[in-house]
Structure 1
Amino acid sequence: MKTGEFVADAFGRVQELVHAAVKGLSAEELAFRPDDEANSIAWLIWHLTRVQDDHIADAAGGDQVWTAQGWAERFGLSLADEETGYGHTTEQVAAVRDVSAEQLRDYYDAVHEQTLSFVRGLDEVALDRVVDERWTPHVTLGVRLTSIIADDLQHAGQAAYVRGLLKRRR
Structure 2
Amino acid sequence: MNTSELLLDAFGRIQEVLHETVEQLDDQALATRPEQSGNSIAWLVWHLTRIQDDHFADAGGYEQLYTAEGWHERLGLPFDAADTGYGHTAEDVAAVKLSSEQLLGYYDAVHARSLEYLKTLTDDDLDRIVDTRWNPPVTLGARLVSVLSDDLQHAGQAAYASGLLS
Instruction: Tell me if both proteins adopt one fold, taking TM over 0.5 as the criterion.
Output: yes
Tell me if the contact between 1:36 and 1:90 (Cα under 8 Å) persists in the aligned partners. Answer: no
**Structure 1 residue 65, shift from structure 2 partner:** 0.6
Q: TM-score, normalised by structure 2?
A: 0.98
Aligned to 1:162: 161
Task: Give the number of equivalent residue pairs.
Answer: 166
Aligned to 1:137: 136
For residues 165 and 17 of structure 1, the distance between their equivalents in structure 2, rounded to whole angstroms, comes to 16
* SS of structure 2 residue aligned to 1:35: helix
- Give the share of equivalent positions with the same residue, in percent: 58
For residues 129 and 122 of structure 2, the distance between their equivalents in structure 1, rounded to whole angstroms, comes to 14
Tell me if the contact between 1:130 and 1:141 (Cα under 8 Å) persists in the aligned partners. Answer: yes
Aligned to 2:55: 55
For residues 79 and 37 of structure 2, the distance between their equivalents in structure 1, rounded to whole angstroms, comes to 18
> 1:5-59: per-residue Cα shift (whole Å, max 9, x none)?
1111111011111111201211111000112320000000000000000000000
* SS of structure 1 residue aligned to 2:77: coil
Aligned to 1:42: 42
Aligned to 2:101: 102
Moved over 6 A (4+): none
| 1:51-130 correspondence runs (5 A) | 51-97=51-97, 99-130=98-129
For residues 113 and 24 of structure 1, the distance between their equivalents in structure 2, rounded to whole angstroms, comes to 22
* SS of structure 2 residue aligned to 1:131: strand
Unaligned runs of 5+ in 1: none
**Structure 1 residue 3, shift from structure 2 partner:** 1.4
Aligned to 1:5: 5
* SS of structure 1 residue aligned to 2:85: coil
RMSD: 0.8
